[in-house]
Amino acid sequence: MEVFGRKIPMSASLIVWAVLWEIVGQLDLVSLIPPLSNVVMRLAEIVPTETFIDALALTARSFAAGTGIAILAGVPIGVLMGRSEIADRLLLPWVNVFVSAPLTALVPIIMALFGFGETTIILTVVLFALWIIILDARAGTRSISNSLVEMAQSYGASYWQAFSKVYVWAALPEILAGIRLGMVRAIKGVIIGQLIVSVVGFGYLFEIYQSNFLMEHLWALLLVLFALAFLIDGVFGYMEKRVEYYAASR
Amino acid sequence: MTATVVHAPGFQRSLGTMVSVRSVSKVYPGGVEALNEISLDFPKGQLTTLLGPSGCGKTTLLKIIAGLLPATSGEVMVDGMRVEGPGPERAFVFQDFALLPWATVLRNVAFGLELRGVPVAERESIAEHYIGQVGLKGFEKHYPHALSGGMRQRVGLARALAVKAEVVLMDEPFSAVDEQTRRKFQEDMLELIKNEQKTFIFVTHSIEEAVYVSNRIILLSRRPSRVMRIIEPDMPRGITPDQIRRHPAYLDAVEMIWQALKQYLD
Amino acid sequence: MISVPTSSRASAARTNPLRRVMTHTITFRILSVITVLGAWEYAGRRPISASFPSFSETFAAGWEMAADGSLSAALMITIVPLVIGITMSAIAGVAAGIYMGLDRRAEWVGVPVFIVMQAAPLAALIPLLVLAYGVGLATKVTVVCIMAVPAIVLNSFKAIRHAPVSLVEMGESFLGSREQVIGKIILPAASPVIFAGLRLGLASGFIGVILAELLISPTGIGDLITYHQSIAEYPKMFAAIAVVILLSVLFMEALERIEITLFRPEKRAQ
């Protein structure tokens, strides 16, 4: 948007929203919404506490492990599906079901099988992140131009060479997009897992704040989570931009 | 004036054959017949062009020679060896270049050697030589997206030459290059070919291009393709490119091919 | 690989009925389902865990719940807030997205908020909502809306913004009014992406409603899951979960049918 001929970046509108939040909070219009300034003060108060740092560390660990597994499993499966008609036909129906299924319903199964600990959270993260990574790696592999595949063949590439030197790289823009979307889903998964298990990490903090009606604490926690999610999304969005230039020239 | 020699379809040259296609047919799944019992010999050290109406199966034949497509029946021999798939004695130049967008010009040109496990220093020095040969000196560190279409295809050509294959297969290499660049590129390519003692097989749909660059032109009929006629333009090679384009032999050959192909246009 | 002495290989592929059946899509789908269900049955019979029932046990338990009516009762309780929430989100979200796609000021104000919302783990809002509104239909509907709206809005926005320039210019060059260009070119061109957003929104809404039921209100399918988990009646718990997954597949299918019938004549023609 332009004001007096000067371009104002889009993200600046978030400041407008923050001011609005403060006003609504100060006027005490909705019991749900305390003033932003109070939330920020509460944020400064709880972030250095040990319970918070522990919860953050645990969440980060489950997130990293879960996305790591999802990427290591998802990318090869997706590339395989993109190159092999049989694998594609066998797996695609299931991937399509799970990419849009209410995965929250499956968390109780993981809990029943693996208990109430970190393993359950990690598996929840995998469950949320995996499918979109597979689908995007598959889409990227299928969009590799036929002549690039023939080029690898005609210059005598072995199957492994074609895979590691051509297919993975040619599909990289989509693979990275899939990983970014998978990470966004993984953040949702790690929070949902912790909320359902409710005795570990931020799930435990949410439980405490909620049962004690600590509205400002809850919002402070939400702000942290939103900021982290946005940061991860942004970093990966930037990485994607850097490889975008060759997506068109494949 | 040099006469243009026309041979009957059955004409076979017995001496110095590099690539020999023996009654090759190709039926695509679904029943489309692309090639019908094609037999051809490609002489060593010459540039032979496959020319025909669009969709006539010239690219199919080229890919069968490359080993990228299996023939439905018949066989292809390269230097006496039966083709079972892609081989190191053949190199392919692609219509849409098929460059790795994430690799520099240097790595792209060296890619065929990289796949063969040639050590880095060696393959890069070979690649640098051919980058110079195709006139891209100074662009070694550039990425394909920073090059024009003509320059990208020069990279594709350098890559094919770098693997030191005896047969270079070119699938409409200039069709994605704009007209003015194409002329210059054709002239440069003729120079290059003179120095490289290789067999070139060239697919194009441009009559002028075929007459200009070829020693022999094979006219293919419409699908299912058969060999309609073999033409040897036999242009005087001592003269400049501009003289060739105005030479009666050149103009006669273009006219003759046009008359032969015209019947396929609806 | 130029060998193949017989020229009849390609025609054999066309005429051999066994080969045709073996390579058919349906065959693979059935094979795929059988493989997974077989693996489930095997894992359940070994068993890999005391809390992992086999497919046949789960199916029997599901049949029992369907027969005694508890399944359909729970389904109704889950589906009602989902349908209300999705319908509201679809109407409001598509409208907001289209508006932001057409108006730069609205874009400046609105889009960043939804970008943050889409990246954020909105499930974390659920404890807050419970605090504010208690446990009931209104809370569930709100949860569904909050989860579903960002994807719907952003996809509608992108769909409008990325409408093919050449088509818009074509419309303008034939003297189409702004309304005509929007109604006859931009919206139809945008509909596939808008529907992709609706599918994403539906999936998120589903995640939200099940989460709300698991976390806050012991009702609906979520209650069937948590209750049978607590009394270790695993076949029934698994059956309830399988029904939820199946339900989401049916909803997606229904949405696709709606899209094709209303907006995609070119797909219908095939």
Same domain assignment for residues A115 and A219: yes
Please report, for residues A212, B135, C4, C89, the alpha-carbon distance to residue B189 in angstroms, rounded to integers and kept in the order given: 81, 11, 37, 62
Query: Measured between beta carbons, which residues in chain A are less than 8 angstroms from residue B97?
Result: 147
Cβ-defined contact of B111 to A161 (cutoff 8 Å): no
Query: Measured between beta carbons, which residues in chain B are less than 8 angstroms from residue A169?
Result: 100, 102
Same domain assignment for residues A12 and A80: no
Residues paired with residue B17 on neighbouring β-strands, in sequence order: B43
Report pLDDT digits (tens) over C28-46: 788 888 888 898 888 888 8
DSSP assignment of chain B: -PPPEEE-TT----SSEEEEEEEEEEE-TTS-EEEEEEEEEEETT-EEEEE-STTSSHHHHHHHHHTSS--SEEEEEETTEEP-S--TTEEEE-TT----TTS-HHHHHHHHHHHTT--HHHHHHHHHHHHHHTT-TT-TT--GGGS-HHHHHHHHHHHHHHTT-SEEEEESTTTTS-HHHHHHHHHHHHHHHHHS--EEEEEES-HHHHHHH-SEEEEE-SSSB-EEEEEE----TTS-HHHHHH-HHHHHHHHHHHHHHHTT--
Same domain assignment for residues A118 and A29: no
Q: How many domains does chain A have?
A: 2
Cα separation of B198 and B43, whole Å? 10
Query: pLDDT-derived band of residue B11, with 50, 70 and 90 as boundaries?
Result: very low
The residue behind tokens 């058969």 is: B226
Q: How far is B3 from chain A (nearest CA, A)?
A: 38
Query: Measured between beta carbons, which residues in chain C are less than 8 angstroms from residue A215?
Result: 128, 131
Cα angle, residue C55 at apex, residues C52 and C61 outer, rounded to 5°: 85
Same domain assignment for residues A53 and A27: no
Same domain assignment for residues A3 and A100: no
Q: What is the CATH number of the domain that holds A222?
A: 1.10.3720.10
Please report, for residues A33, A40, A120, A228, C117, the alpha-carbon distance to residue A37 in angstroms, rounded to integers and kept in the order given: 11, 5, 36, 20, 20
Residue B41 has pLDDT above 50, yes or no: yes
Residue C121 has pLDDT above 60, yes or no: yes
Q: Is residue B125 in a domain?
A: no
Cα separation of B48 and B41, whole Å? 10
Q: How many domains does chain B have?
A: 1
Report pLDDT digits (tens) over A82-110: 988 888 888 998 999 999 888 888 998 89
Burial of A53 from C-beta contacts in 10 A (0-12 / 13-18 / 19+): exposed
Residue A55 has pLDDT above 80, yes or no: yes
Answer whether B149 touches A (CB < 8 Å). Answer: no
Please report, for residues A47, B85, C51, C100, the alpha-carbon distance to residue B81 in angstroms, rounded to integers and kept in the order given: 74, 11, 63, 66
Residue of A174, A242, A249, A250 best to disrupt the B interface, most CBs of B under 10 A: A249
The residue behind tokens 């051509």 is: A166
Cα separation of C167 and C164, whole Å? 6
Q: What pLDDT is attached to residue A127? A: 94
- Mean of pLDDT over chain A: 86
Residue in chain B lying closest to A155 (CA): B112
Q: Is residue B84 in a domain?
A: yes
Those of residues 192-251 in C touching chain A at CB distance below 8 A are: 199-200, 202-203, 206-207, 209-211, 214-215, 221-222, 225-226, 229, 234, 237-238, 240-241, 244-245, 248-249
Answer whether B58 touches A (CB < 8 Å). Answer: no
Residue B255 structural domain:
5-89+165-262
Same domain assignment for residues A126 and A9: no
Q: Which helix (H) or strand (E) holds C215?
A: helix C187-215
Residue A91 structural domain:
42-244
Same domain assignment for residues A51 and A114: yes
Cβ-defined contact of B100 to A166 (cutoff 8 Å): yes
Please report, for residues A34, A119, C56, C130, the alpha-carbon distance to residue A29 in angstroms, rounded to integers and kept in the order given: 9, 42, 54, 18
**Chain centroid offset of residue C211 CA:** 15
Report pLDDT digits (tens) over A128-141: 999 999 999 999 99
Q: Is residue A249 in a domain?
A: no
Q: Are A139 and A81 in contact (CB under 8 A)?
A: no
Report pLDDT digits (tens) over C199-220: 999 999 998 888 888 887 678 8
Report pLDDT digits (tens) over B174-191: 887 888 888 888 888 888
The residue behind tokens 């940061």 is: A231
Quick one: average pLDDT of C1-17? 42
Same domain assignment for residues A119 and A211: yes
Same domain assignment for residues A12 and A114: no
How does strand B216-220 pair with strand B227-232? antiparallel
Residue B160 has pLDDT above 70, yes or no: yes
Q: What is the CATH number of the domain that holds B76?
A: 3.40.50.300
Q: Is residue A250 in a domain?
A: no
Q: Is residue A158 in a domain?
A: yes
Percent of chain C residues topping a pLDDT of 90: 20
Quick one: average pLDDT of A40-54? 88
